[in-house]
Amino acid sequence: MIYAITDKTPEYLKAIYPAPVELVNTLQEIPPGSTFIQWERGFKVCKQTRDKIPIPLGRYSNVNEALFHARK
């Protein structure tokens, strides 16, 4: 399961709502070991650790690239 943290940026919302992800409101809602996408001047893919510390895996210009790399 890939998670996505909601954000108010229109570009992000238009791309992420139709994507096959589980939307969550905060980082705390993501289970340890899960991969997630968030908006940070692009689609940022991270992995959540047991200690709830996100490890960045990359930043992408579109949602399809982010989903591809999140599934790896």
pLDDT for 8-64, tens place per residue? 999 999 999 999 999 999 999 999 999 999 999 899 999 999 999 999 999 999 999
Domain count of the fold of the chain: 1
Residue ranges making up the domain that contains 31: 2-71
CA dist 41 and 5 (Å) reads 14
Which pLDDT band holds residue 72 (cuts at 50, 70, 90)? confident
To which H or E segment does residue 69 belong?
helix 63-71
